[in-house]
């Protein structure tokens, strides 16, 4: 049975607060869509093919250990950044030992195809420098522990605050109390699973499934809360007369 457990429900809010909450939810929803697009453009291209797959997740966190970091990048997310002949020359240079004697030949290729993005201001590795380019000859072990630590704490802090406020708004919905508690807590549980799966995949690639499950879980919970809040704030059945 659907019932309101609190005195203040979404349908009884003043127009001021309905507009405020709706504006917040719309911006947060747009932000979540941009986050999804960013994932598709970065992790989703790790295997060189559009769309997020298990290989993308494995390559991003465990690495593509069949080749070097440079080869993984040029056959994955950086595939469109250079022509096939240029990529072949760069990869062959790495496979041949990344010789300094051959840098005069391959250095200009890095400068032309990579330096515009990998510059000092971008914070990305300046691959047009010999020592940096040679470091890319190492086997691709995916995300480093340092980068995982940095991204993990950003996600745990940032996304937790998003779901705190979304859950607070949804808490004023007329909804079965048991299911309301489940839906409010679900995004937090799946967020922890999502972040934990990055670390598990770093060492055990079969755990990439948990990344897919985590992202799907809190996305579904968010959609349920968003749809319920919009409906109860604006549809005549729910709003006060």
**Contacts of 133 by beta carbon, 8 Å cutoff, 6+ apart:** 70, 98, 103, 106, 107, 110, 127
Q: Over range 137-152, report the average pLDDT.
A: 85
Q: What is the mean pLDDT of the chain?
A: 84
Please report, rounded to a whole number, the percentage of residues in the chain having pLDDT higher than 90: 41
**pLDDT surpassing 50 at residue 3:** no
**pTM flag (> 0.85):** no
pLDDT at 220: 92
pLDDT at 5: 45
Quick: pLDDT tens for 66-87. Answer: 677 777 777 777 777 777 787 7
**pLDDT surpassing 90 at residue 8:** no
Least confident range from 19-23, 89-93, 155-159, 225-229: namely 89-93
CB 54 within 8 A of CB 212: yes
Q: In terms of Cα–Cα distance, which of 66, 70, 62 is closest to 43?
A: 62
Q: Over range 90-110, report the average pLDDT.
A: 79
CB 171 within 8 A of CB 6: yes
Give residue limits of the domains in the chain.
10-45+144-234, 67-135
pLDDT at 182: 95
């Amino acid at each position: 049975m659907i019932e309101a457990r609190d005195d203040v429900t979404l349908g009884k809010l003043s127009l001021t607060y309905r507009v405020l909450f709706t504006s917040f939810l719309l911006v947060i929803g747009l932000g979540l869509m941009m986050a999804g697009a960013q994932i598709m453009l970065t992790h989703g291209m790790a295997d060189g093919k559009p769309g997020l797959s298990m290989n993308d997740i494995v390559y991003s966190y465990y690495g593509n250990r069949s080749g070097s970091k440079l080869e993984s990048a040029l056959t994955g997310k950086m595939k469109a950044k250079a022509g096939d002949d240029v990529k072949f020359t760069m990869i062959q240079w790495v496979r041949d030992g990344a010789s300094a004697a051959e840098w005069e030949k391959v250095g200009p290729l890095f400068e032309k195809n990579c330096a515009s993005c990998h510059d000092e201001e971008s914070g990305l590795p300046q691959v047009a420098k010999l020592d940096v380019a040679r470091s890319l000859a190492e086997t691709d072990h995916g995300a480093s522990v340092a980068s995982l630590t940095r991204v993990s704490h950003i996600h745990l802090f940032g996304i937790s605050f998003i779901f705190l406020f979304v859950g607070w708004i949804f808490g004023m919905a007329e909804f079965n109390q048991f299911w309301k508690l489940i839906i409010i807590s679900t995004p937090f549980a799946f967020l922890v699973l999502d972040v934990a799966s990055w670390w598990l995949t770093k060492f055990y690639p079969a755990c990439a499934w948990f990344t897919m499950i985590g992202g799907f879980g809190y996305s579904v919970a968010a959609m349920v809360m968003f749809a319920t809040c919009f409906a109860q704030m604006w549809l005549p059945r729910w709003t006060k007369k």
